[in-house]
Amino acid sequence: MSNLVETKELTKWYGQVIGINDITVRVNRGITGLLGPNGAGKTTFIKILTGQIKQSRGEVTLFGEPAWNNPPLTKKIGYCPEQDNLYDSLSGPLFLSFMLQLHGYDRKEAEERMSWGLEMVKLQDAGEKKIGAYSKGMRQRIKLAQSIVHDPEILFLDEPLTGMDPLGRKQTIDLIRKFGEEGKTVIVSSHILHEVEAMTEEILLIHNGRILAEGGIHQIRELIDEHPHNITITCDKVRELASVLTGYGDVVSIRFDQDEQSLTAQSVKPDEFYARLPELILEHDISVTELFSPDNNLQAVFNYLVK
């Protein structure tokens, strides 16, 4: 079965508040990024997929079986939560061994798998250190370890890179990619585009509980490149630069800051704008000290799509 995870018109509301709304998706083997800003509905969606909460309407199946009230499915799935609720009085090895025994492994098997799990997340040197004394990055690693030690077929990872240092992020991204290459199904959520881009090319773009787009990462990059950009430029010849920019059809507005040390131009063709800007600066001998765009990011794409 290629579509291991499938939803139809999936909806969840809490009283008058809608958590997710009318989501119909199919997820194949490999890694799928669930990409959206904080509060978009990512965690609610994952909790329904893992059978932790029941949908208000619609269907959700894993391996063709309903996710809700289906205990045997728990052996086939792994879940790394965003929330940081751990047994702080336990050591990492004891915590993993305990979780494995809950999955039905005997003590010997649990010890073997526990050692493997610690090695996978680079915590084998933590020894008997209590989880309560772990750093944020170490806590993220032990959460990831408990989600993989029973060798699940589907992994649900909710913001797994939060709080990790650069080395920890790279190691975790490499590990997630390894799971995908092994043929596992991985759904990993994040609010940061480049994190997801480093793990997979397949994404679900979620905002306000709805899937706004799905497909390849390149399609989302095109959305970022195609929506109007506001570009702020600080330079020594603000008026001259503004006069030049108004001659281009893609520049639909220009505004100055209060002291006229910078301008903000809006372009409906940002690729063309960025491509010709260096030549304009050199041609008119303009000294630019700062250039940035608040719209060259994922949140701007969400705002654009919602409008």
Mean pLDDT confidence for 91-107: 94
pLDDT exceeds 60 at position 123: yes
CB 5 within 8 A of CB 62: yes
pLDDT value at 1 more than 50: no
Taking the C-alpha atoms of residue 228 and residue 93, their distance in angstroms, rounded to an integer, is 51
pLDDT band at 274 (very low <50, low <70, confident <90, very high): confident
Mean pLDDT, the chain, rounded, equals 90
Give me the pLDDT at residue 143, please: 97
pLDDT in tens, 246-270: 999 999 999 999 888 999 999 988 8
Q: What local confidence, expressed as pLDDT, does residue 229 receive? A: 84
* Range from 30-34, 198-202, 224-228 that averages highest in pLDDT: 30-34
286, pLDDT greater than 50: yes
Contact 35, 201 (CB under 8 A): no
pLDDT digits (tens, 9 = 90+) for 23-76: 999 998 999 999 988 889 999 999 999 999 999 999 999 999 999 999 999 889
Please, is 164 exposed, middle or buried when counting C-beta atoms within 10 Å of its C-beta (0-12, 13-18, 19+)? buried
**With bands split at pLDDT 50, 70 and 90, how would you rate the model's confidence at 296?**
low
